Structures are given as structure tokens and as C-alpha cells.
Amino acid sequence: MSSPPPGRAEIVDWLAALGDRPAGEVRERIDSMELAWLVHQVEQRYELELDDDQLDRIKTIDDAVRVLAEALQSHV
């Protein structure tokens, strides 16, 4: 793996960039637009596609951190 998986702060920054808002305004729950944006960021930065099962498990920022760490660990 060339880059470490994104941590909570990085994911919050990605989500904040979607609405051009401060990181402090990002909610814990991830809505469908934010999930699509997050998937786009992951695909571009890590050249990794998440499957439907992985996407279904992402409801919060902490879920995203966990699922992305697992996906990147197995994507070597």
C-alpha cells in the first residue's frame, strides 16, 4: 500500500470540501451526496473501487474510517 488509509480528520476535510464549509460544520452521519463524494475521493486518491457491501456499511464518519482502512489493507 503506497499511502496510509485516511483518518477521521482527512475524511472530515474531504466532506467539508464538498460544501465549501468549515470542517466543524460536518455532521457525523454521512448522507448520500457525501457518500458519493467520498467514493470519488477514494477512487481518485487510491485507485480503489468500493463494493456495494462496503458502501452499505458507511453511515458515519467513523464507519468510513473503518471501512476504508479495511478496503485499503486488502487492496495491496
CB atoms within 10 A of CB 26: 20
3-47 pLDDT, tens digit each:
789 999 999 999 999 989 999 999 999 999 999 999 999 999 999
Cβ neighbourhood burial of 67 (10 Å; 0-12, 13-18, 19+): buried
Is residue 38 within 8 A of residue 62, CB to CB? The reply is no
36-65 pLDDT, tens digit each:
999 999 999 999 999 999 999 999 999 999
Taken in order of first residue, the domains within the chain and their CATH numbers are 8-74 (1.10.1200.10)
pLDDT of 1: 44
* Rounded CA separation 56/12 (Å): 19
pLDDT of 2: 62
pLDDT band at 75 (very low <50, low <70, confident <90, very high): confident
Question: Distance between terminal CA atoms of the chain?
Answer: 5
Which residues does 12 contact at the CB level (< 8 Å), separation at least 6? 23, 26, 61
pLDDT band at 74 (very low <50, low <70, confident <90, very high): confident
